[in-house]
Structure 1
């Protein structure tokens, strides 16, 4: 075996270990929540040392951030599949899709918003931009529905709508409080959008 082959095998082993660590971390977050994630538990389950985890990801924040990136990427893909022919239906579709994704991946999505960097380091710009890109999916239908509004107003409105929908769903699915049944939660999100779009003059008064 030559040096190139040996290096290729090392890279393959390194990549498998990295993916295995991520799989374990993702599973723990998904089933038990971010607070239950401990580097020693991940290393033990992966059959490697804590140092190996750090070597792969720089630090433990690196593991969490990688999982969070994958979560927001999956969310954005799911939201991007919502049909865009009718802008009003698209807004409702985005909200319903977000509810479905949150219900299926509650702890992973909470990790995205709850994670705080060690030593108060700033959160990576690329993940913040990814979240903003997800928010921005509400921008095109709002532009179509409010053609006279300027970009600043539309951007603020899209963030407000997304944040409000997130808050309704997050609290509704919070098991430590009074959890709302999925169908009732869907109705609450729909009622919020009804009222907000009515106030904006997008929906006709009933």
Structure 2
């Protein structure tokens, strides 16, 4: 059932996923899906957890020897993942729990841990800044990277054209670091 749901979301997006289709493809009853996952949200959340784990594995694999290169690598890895798994990543941010129930804490924590990977290199680059400010800067930077990528892949009106995303994403990271007081020449060379 998980494989079927993941395949459906990956191919056609979250909105196309129907419990009846999953049950049919798995050759089981709709009740079996609910028995296994509690409700349809449970199945979607299981797929979303796997997506966050896969994304985090890609991000954790970025070399951390140089903080500037690490930030560029994180942005690039996020773009590659989003390009390869656009609908799965979109599902993570589009899914709304039935009946306005709160999102499960474990998924929120997993997403925050993935976002926090930008925190450590910023701490190294900004050792004298207030830790709360650096944490906020890391979340803001990840949010901006996510927004640039999401809009670019969606090709919305204000989006960066997909063929320019890599270049513009690298330019954004450099510009953001320069705005934080890290000179661009040093940022590009990995020196601080």
Equivalent pair of 2:155/2:161 in contact (CA under 8 Å):
no
Matched, 1:93 2:83: no
1:198–1:205 CA contact under 8 A, matched in 2: no
Residue 140 of structure 1, CA deviation:
0.8
Distance 1:117 1:156 in 2: 27
SS in 1 for 2:62: coil
Query: Which whole-Å CA distance do the structure 1 matches of 2:166 and 2:47 have between them?
Result: 27
Change (3 A) 1:104 1:179: farther
Computed over aligned residues only, the root mean square deviation of the Cα atoms, in angstroms, reads 1.6
Q: How does 1:1-206 map to 2 (within 5 A)?
A: 21-175=1-155, 182-204=162-184
Cα distance per residue 1:119-175 (max 9 Å; x no partner): 000000110000000010011110100001122111101100000000000010015
Render the CA deviation track for 1:40-63: whole Å, top value 9, x for unaligned: 000000000000000000000000
More relative contact order, 1 or 2 (CA 8 Å, 6+ apart): 2
Shift of 1:183: 3.9
- Which segments of 5 or more consecutive residues in structure 2 lack a partner in the other structure? 187-192
Q: How big is each residue's C-alpha offset from its partner over 1:21-74, in whole Å with a ceiling of 9 and x where there is no partner?
A: 000000000000000000000000000000000000000000000000000000
Residues 64 and 177 of structure 1, relative CA distance in 2, 3 Å threshold: farther
Q: CA deviation at 1:96?
A: 0.3
Larger-Rg structure = 1
TM superposition score normalised by structure 1: 0.86
Distance 1:71 1:158, change over 3 A: same
Q: Which runs of 5+ in 1 are unaligned?
A: 1-20
Contact preservation (8 Å) 2:41, 2:97: yes
List 4+ stretches of structure 1 deviating above 3 A. 175-183
Q: Provide the rounded CA distance (Å) in 2 between the counterparts of 1:92 and 1:158.
A: 13
Q: SS state of the match for residue 65, structure 1?
A: helix
CA distance in 2, matches of 1:203, 1:33: 41
TM-score (norm 2): 0.93
| Inter-partner Cα distance in structure 2 for 1:156 and 1:118 | 30
